[in-house]
């Protein structure tokens, strides 16, 4: 610092120390971010993000369930469209039954005016006291948001509805909807974001699906008696046909015969491992984000229907 009067000197001195401090702060935050990315890498290695599915053709894992002529195939069966018109909807199901695994589908929802129309993607066992894991997409008038409803049935008992808005328009592009199911939890994902978890709470008296193989189903049908604004909005058939598009068709599960009571390779598959037995901290953070920003309805907080909070709710971080 050359010659300068007291004020400028003081100012320059101040500036210098300020710069140094900034440099120190820069250094500290650099080290900090280095540290964070290291932590991220380490935890990333143990992260509970389900294994990426490999897209296959429809016919590898699925068959139509009803109204075969209302399913159209593209690109050699790599893509399929379900069509709903005033005569019928349609649906398909997995060839195999599964006990645990990761079940995902890329779906593009019915675009435009889809009020009254429901698209479902779910797992279900076939018996009377059945288990079921549901994604249900409730259509809406053009420009109005879809609602995603999820539910879990165990031993024939459901009544565990949750409803959220999505943070994107599900009619514009394919998004991935998946279920991770193992002995410890059922986690619902939208793309990579966990939107719901149902933990195995057998120890506190809540049934958990574990011994009834499930098939995977999807369908598109008219439910204008209840789907949109509680049935107020009717399906506008002048907008038919309604089309939902599918890709992916991968199934990563333990295949079991319909009457099997256990999976032959129980405990040995990737979804059985430690990293998938619970969501990790980052995933819980995202789940919380969904809860706070997008929840419309949660049975866990419905005091009218359930004066006593269902016991699993606490464990599922739902209350």
Ligand X SMILES: *[C@@H]1O[C@H](CO)[C@@H](O)[C@H](O)[C@H]1NC(C)=O
Among residues 88, 144, 266, 301, the one that binds ligand X under rule CB under 6 A: 144
What is the pattern of x (binds ligand X, CB under 6 A) and - over residues 225-244?
Answer: ---xx---------------
Bridge partners, 133 (sequence order): 123, 152
Quick one: the chain helix, strand, coil %, rounded to 5?
25, 35, 40
Stretch that binds ligand X, among 52-60, 142-150, 175-183, 189-197 (CB under 6 A): 142-150
Nearer to ligand X, 48 or 147 (CB): 147
Chain-centroid distance, C-alpha 114: 21
Verify cis geometry, omega within 30 degrees of 0, for the bond prior to 22: no
- Known active-site residue 7: no
Is 180 a binding residue for ligand X by CB under 6 A? The answer is no
Minimum distance from residue 298 beta carbon to ligand X (Å): 15
Nearer to ligand X, 186 or 190 (CB): 190
Closest CA to 209 of 305, 127, 120: 127
Among residues 140, 150, 201, 245, the one that binds ligand X under rule CB under 6 A: 140
8 Å CB contact between 109 and 139 = yes
Residue of 136, 233, 255, 312 with catalytic role: 136
Bridge partners, 186 (sequence order): 181, 198
CB-nearest residue to ligand X? 144
Plot region of 32 (φ>0 → left; ψ -120 to 50 → alpha; else → beta): alpha
- Known active-site residue 136: yes
Q: How many CB atoms lie within 10 A of CB 90?
A: 23
Is 138 a binding residue for ligand X by CB under 6 A? The answer is yes
Nearer to ligand X, 170 or 253 (CB): 170
Among residues 91, 112, 145, 155, the one that binds ligand X under rule CB under 6 A: 145
Is 166 a binding residue for ligand X by CB under 6 A? The answer is no
8 Å CB contact between 91 and 124 = no
Query: Which residue ranges make up the site for ligand X (CB under 6 A)?
Result: 138, 140, 144-145, 147, 228-229
Give catalytic residues, as residue numbers: 132, 136
């Amino acid at each position: 610092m050359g010659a300068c009067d007291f004020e400028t000197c003081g100012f320059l001195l101040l500036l210098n120390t300020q710069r140094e401090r900034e440099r120190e702060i820069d250094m500290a935050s650099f080290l900090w971010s280095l540290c964070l990315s290291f932590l991220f890498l380490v935890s990333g290695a143990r992260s509970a993000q389900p294994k990426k599915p490999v897209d296959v053709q429809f016919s590898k894992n699925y068959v139509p369930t009803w109204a075969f002529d209302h399913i159209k195939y593209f690109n050699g069966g790599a893509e399929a469209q379900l069509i709903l018109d005033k005569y019928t909807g349609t649906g398909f199901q997995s060839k195999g039954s599964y006990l645990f695994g990761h079940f995902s589908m890329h779906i593009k929802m019915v675009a435009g005016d889809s009020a009254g129309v429901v698209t479902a993607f779910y797992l279900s066992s076939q018996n009377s006291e059945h288990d079921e894991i549901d994604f249900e997409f409730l259509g809406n008038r053009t420009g109005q948001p879809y609602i995603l409803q999820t539910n879990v049935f165990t031993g024939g008992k459901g009544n565990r509805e949750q409803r959220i808005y999505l943070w994107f328009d599900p009619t514009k592009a394919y998004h991935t909807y998946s279920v991770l199911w193992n002995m410890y939890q059922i986690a619902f994902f939208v793309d990579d974001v966990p939107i719901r978890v149902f933990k195995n709470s057998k120890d506190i008296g809540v049934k958990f699906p574990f011994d009834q193989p499930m098939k995977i189903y999807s369908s598109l049908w008219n439910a204008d008696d209840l789907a949109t604004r509680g049935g107020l909005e009717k399906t506008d058939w002048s907008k038919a046909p309604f089309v939902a598009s599918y890709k992916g068709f991968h199934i990563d599960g333990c295949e079991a015969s319909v009457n099997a009571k256990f999976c032959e390779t129980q405990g040995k598959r990737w979804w059985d491992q430690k990293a998938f037995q619970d969501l990790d901290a980052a995933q819980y953070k995202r789940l919380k984000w969904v809860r706070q920003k997008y929840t419309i309805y949660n049975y866990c907080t419905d005091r009218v229907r359930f004066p006593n909070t269902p016991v699993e709710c606490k464990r599922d971080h739902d209350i």
